[in-house]
Amino acid sequence: MRIATWNVNSIVARLPRLLGWLESAQPDVLCLQELKTTTDAFPHEEVSALGYEVAAYGLGRWNGVAILSRVGLEDVRRGIVDQPAYEDAVEPRAIGATCRGLRIWSVYVPNGREPGHPHYAYKLRWLEALHATVVAESSQDRPLAVLGDFNIAPTDDDVWDIGAFEGATHVTDAERKALAMLRDAGLSDIVPRALKYDRPYTYWDYRQLAFPKNNGMRIDLVYGDPKFASAVSDAYVDREARKGKGPSDHAPVVVDVTL
């Protein structure tokens, strides 16, 4: 099976690119983030025409997640265990489903904005809830994978210049410790182990020629339990999808597994 994750930064703006990429990359399961649309307004018809079932979760603002599958879509769950609210709203940032025996979560971790901001504290609470969800899901006898935009660079090598991030989010000790809790729960960071090259970036800002300069970050991650990790045969970041006119600022991450 081919499993992928992609922060599309607006499903409406990126729909032609998404449909073209589905036809060329042929993922069996695709996790999407930052839909920026409602569940009902998701382009179900266009995606279904390519043979995919859709489980979407969106309220139309700055978040929203989905799972697309052509190998079955069962036991759909919207939201994580005891998910915290931000400004009295529970945001659509996580959706889970079972696809041909594989339990998959598509997650869009809060950005955090800046250390000390209420959104940063919300991000850490949200990651605690994700950890609780992973612990609960790990009790089931099936492979488990959590994919998405984590808004955390796991190591200093996962950003183009750690000095440029002094006092910024995505690289703080507290965020990285929260990410390490997923590893303590039995998940591992899949892509660096499977790739034939070292820690490629997955996100480049639209500004200051970040993509041509390769001033990027690796924040779109694939975490899996031992059953999933042992089945991985290959992985890559599709930089080509970041090129051209009107791309997302993220590139898809693709993992091939034998399950």
Mean pLDDT along residues 175-180: 97
- Residue 61: the pLDDT is 79
Strand ranges across the sheet with 102-108: 74-78, 94-99, 102-108, 144-149, 220-224, 188-189
Q: Are the C-beta atoms of 74 and 98 separated by less than 8 Å?
A: yes
Residues 140-166 have pLDDT tens digits of 889 999 999 999 999 999 999 999 999
Within 13-73, strands assigned E span: 29-33, 53-57, 65-69
Residue 34 backbone zone (phi > 0: left; psi -120 to 50: alpha; other: beta): left
Instruction: State whether residue 108 is helix, strand or coil.
Output: strand
Q: Is the pLDDT of residue 195 over 80?
A: no
Instruction: Establish whether 149 is a catalytic residue.
Output: yes
Superfamily of domain 2-248: Endonuclease/exonuclease/phosphatase (3.60.10.10)
Q: Is the pLDDT of residue 241 over 80?
A: yes
pLDDT more than 90, % of the chain: 93
Let me know how long the chain is: 259
**Could you tell me the residue ranges of all domains in the chain?**
2-248
- Per the residue annotation, which of 122, 170, 225, 250 is the catalytic one? 250
- Per the residue annotation, which of 149, 158, 225, 238 is the catalytic one? 149
Output the average pLDDT for the chain.
95
Q: Is 250 annotated as a binding residue?
A: yes
Q: Is the pLDDT of residue 41 over 90?
A: yes
Confidence of residue 194 (pLDDT cuts 50, 70, 90): low
Which tokens belong to 119?
């959104």
Q: Is the pLDDT of residue 169 over 90?
A: yes
Tell me how far apart the alpha carbons of residues 174 and 152 are, in angstroms, rounded to a whole number: 10
Which tokens belong to 17?
């690119």
How buried is 142 (Cβ within 10 angstroms: 0-12 exposed, 13-18 middle, 19+ buried)?
middle
- Per the residue annotation, which of 52, 108, 201, 236 is the catalytic one? 108
Q: Is 46 annotated as a binding residue?
A: no
Report the Cα–Cα distance between both ends of the chain, in Å, rounded: 7
SS (HEC) of 198-234: CCCCCEECCCCCHHHHCCEECCEEEEECHHHHHHEEE
Sign of CA dihedral 212, 216, 221, 226: positive
Q: Is 151 annotated as a binding residue?
A: yes
Nearest to 106 by CA among 133, 141, 84: 133
Tell me how far apart the alpha carbons of residues 63 and 43 are, in angstroms, rounded to a whole number: 16
Tell me how far apart the alpha carbons of residues 10 and 32 are, in angstroms, rounded to a whole number: 10
- Residue 62: the pLDDT is 84
Question: What single string gives the DSSP state of each residue in 132-174?
Answer: HHHHHHTTSSS-EEEEEE-S--SSGGGBS-GGGGTT-SSS-HH
Tell me how far apart the alpha carbons of residues 210 and 207 are, in angstroms, rounded to a whole number: 6
Tell me how far apart the alpha carbons of residues 164 and 160 are, in angstroms, rounded to a whole number: 8
- Residue 197: the pLDDT is 62
Residues 117-138 have pLDDT tens digits of 999 999 999 999 999 999 999 9
Residues 48-105 have pLDDT tens digits of 999 999 999 999 878 999 999 999 999 999 999 999 999 999 999 999 999 999 999 9
Sorted by sequence, the CB contacts under 8 Å of residue 201 that are 6+ apart come out as 158, 160, 214, 216, 217, 218, 237, 251
